[in-house]
A and B are shown apart, each in its own frame.
Chain A
């Protein structure tokens, strides 16, 4: 009888443990706090590496610096010339916009520049951490852009850092539109530099190498940010929907500065 009692008590304690762990894992607040736990030390490590790099570049030999200076001077001259062209183009562009009454879609968006300070410690998750948080005005669901392309969405926001789910992750899901044909589809990440358009009906006009972009249909979305290019369209035997593979622009190995776009 005593044995049964002991076992019941043990089972009860185990059950309490499980409940406590579940409360821990499924509370959003704790998730946000944990982002800061990884963000703050990562930021420190990143800054230290950056400083070391600066010091090492300071000790570069004089000759290479001189050569670099010469090269940069030449490049500067070319850029000055190009800059003049850009000014001209900008003016022309502005005038055209006025004529067409073209609505500038990103003017209403708030833009925050952030630095990538860490990547997910879990190899099965495609996410990264940035050095801006709720203090800087970042909100959950904000889009993250690099080089003009969508690379992720803010998932957890800490005080000083945030976690971004990349477009390649299987959990990344948004509504998108094809640029040429304007077909509305459902995008989901699939792995390294890959995504997939889901539930594409046979009558939908999906074209090879068309750009997939964000659409206003998604509540968090700013319209027209490119997500990827359509690389493969196929139909599986016995399947109703088309299989469409998208190549994304998220490349983790050269990420440094990103832009957080929020309305």
Chain B
């Protein structure tokens, strides 16, 4: 139980970090990187698909509960995009560095597009603004995953090949 609980606690802490005033108050970032999404992606890549599914569902529910409006868009997008990424991952024997970057781009897009469409239908937010939001969101997540794999594979020399 405790073994599984740690994954949920980490996801919860990542959401807390993501919501911290540091990003907007100190770094003045308009878009905050989605650490929870990167974590789910990392779990998927590290062959913890089952846990990734539940962590994806938990993160989605938690984000929806934190949403001021009653919605299920995060639960839907996080859970189903996790399933999709697991499906894609299983089609390959192993993903190299570039493929991992492509996969996180795809993952971020799958998560962000339903949210953008949802907010577009809610009120006609300009397309330009939405594109900027999606663009930077994907870029931030890709940069984080790049650094994670750069340090774990190249710096810490954990490459098994």
Contacts and interface: CB of A to CB of B under 8 A. Distances in A.
A119 interface: yes
Interface stretch (B45-53, B68-76, B85-93): B68-76
A49 B22 contact: yes
Contacts, number: 117
Nearest to A125: B67
Given A21-B61, A45-B16, A121 B66 contact: yes
A252 B24 contact: yes
Nearest to A152: B68
Interface string A96-126: 0000000000000000000011111111110
Interface string A145-175: 0000000000110000001010001110000
Interface stretch (B96-104, B121-129, B142-150, B152-160): B121-129
A213 to B, nearest CB: 21
Contact of B24 (A41, A49, A253): A253
What is the interface of chain A mostly: helix, strand, loop, or mixed?
Answer: mixed
Contact of A190 (B13, B70, B125): B125
Contacts of B64: 25
Q: Do most interface residues of chain B lie in helix, strand or loop, or is the interface mixed?
A: helix
Contact of B133 (A123, A127, A156): A123
Nearest to B126: A191
Contacts of B12: 37
A26 B75 CA distance: 12
B20 A192 contact: no
Contact of B23 (A49, A119, A125, A129): A119
A91 B18 CA distance: 49
A241 interface: no
A41 B62 CA distance: 15
B109 interface: no
Nearest to A255: B25
Given A118-B19, A170-B122, A191-B126, A123 B75 contact: no
A125 B25 CA distance: 17
B15 interface: yes
B6 interface: no
Contacts of A76: none
A256 to B, nearest CB: 8
B31 interface: yes
Contact of B137 (A21, A22, A123, A169): A123
A220 interface: no
Nearest to A35: B66
Q: Among B36, B65, B69, B112, find the residue whose CB has the most chain A CB atoms closer than 10 A.
A: B65
**Which 10 A-B pairs have CB atoms at the shortest separation, nearest pair first?**
A34-B65, A155-B68, A170-B123, A121-B19, A121-B18, A118-B19, A165-B68, A124-B115, A41-B16, A253-B28
Given A34-B62, A170-B125, A190-B125, 10 more contacts: A21-B61, A34-B65, A41-B16, A122-B66, A125-B67, A127-B67, A170-B119, A170-B123, A171-B122, A192-B129
